């Protein structure tokens, strides 16, 4: 299964960019947020990066919050089939 970068629908404070990067790299979203704040304070490049990411990265599709799809853990049972 191919990993894709999405803005998080569940782990978001503004637009879900930091939560999306955290899910993609499998790290805590607080670490990503602290790094973003550091980039914002050290020259302001973090603000531009965040705005570009909001415009470019798509919102996470419904039903895939955190990479989990409904019924994926139920052995062989798929009610939608």
pLDDT digits (tens, 9 = 90+) for 3-15: 888 998 888 888 8
Residue 73: inside a domain, yes or no? no
Residue 21, in any domain of the structure: yes
Q: Would residue 7 count as lying in a domain?
A: yes
Q: In the structure, what pLDDT confidence band is assigned to residue 46 with cuts at 50, 70 and 90?
A: confident
CA angle 51, 63, 19 (to 5 degrees): 35
Domain extent for 18: 1-58
What's the residue count for the chain?
A: 81
Within a domain: 65 = no
- 66 belongs to a structural domain: no
**The pLDDT of residue 70:** 47
**Mean pLDDT value of segment 46-66:** 83
Indicate whether 16 belongs to any domain: yes
Specify if 11 maps to a domain. Answer: yes
- Per-chain mean pLDDT for the chain: 80
In a domain, 38, yes or no: yes
Number of domains in the chain: 1
* Predicted TM-score (pTM) of this structure: 0.70
Dist. CA 16–CA 29, nearest whole Å: 10
């Amino acid at each position: 299964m191919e990993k894709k970068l999405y803005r998080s629908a569940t782990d978001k404070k503004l637009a879900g960019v930091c939560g999306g990067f955290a899910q993609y790299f499998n790290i805590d979203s607080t670490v990503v947020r602290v790094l973003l704040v550091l980039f914002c304070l050290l020259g302001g490049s973090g603000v531009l990066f965040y705005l570009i990411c909001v415009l470019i990265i798509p919102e996470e599709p419904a039903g895939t919050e955190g990479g989990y799809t409904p019924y994926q853990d139920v052995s062989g049972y798929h009610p939608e089939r």
